[in-house]
Amino acid sequence: MEAITEMKALITRICEEKMNIEVKPDVNPEEPIAQEFSLDSISLFELIVNLEEEFQFKVADDDIDKVGKMNIAELHEFIQGQQLIHG
């Protein structure tokens, strides 16, 4: 659960500090990240770029929409999997 809390905090920090998106205080980690963080397609792409830099992995263009539909736990698992593939 700690990893989920850390991922939520990281996404919140990226949205607020780098993307100027105000994040609601009661983000539900079970809901899709695009919905919970109010991300349109451009801001979702920007979030992914920041996550790629943070975790040193790449998201295939075909997976961008899938990432937006993931909840925080699923995103965490996805990033770990990508790090194994690309690491």
Per-residue pLDDT reduced to its tens digit, 31-60: 999 999 999 999 999 999 999 999 999 999
Q: Model confidence at 1, in pLDDT bands (50, 70, 90)?
A: confident
CA dihedral of residues 56, 79, 51, 38 (deg, nearest 10): 170
- Report how far residue 12's alpha carbon sits from residue 18's, in angstroms, rounded to the nearest whole number: 10
pTM value is 0.91
Question: And the tokens for 69?
Answer: 């539909």
pLDDT tens sequence across 55-86 = 999 999 999 999 999 999 999 999 999 888 76
Cα dist from 32 to 25, 64, 84, whole Å: 16, 13, 23
C-alpha atoms less than 13 angstroms from C-alpha of 5 in its C-beta half-sphere: 2
**Tell me, what's the pLDDT at 86?**
66
User: How many other CB atoms sit within 10 Å of the CB of residue 39?
Assistant: 22
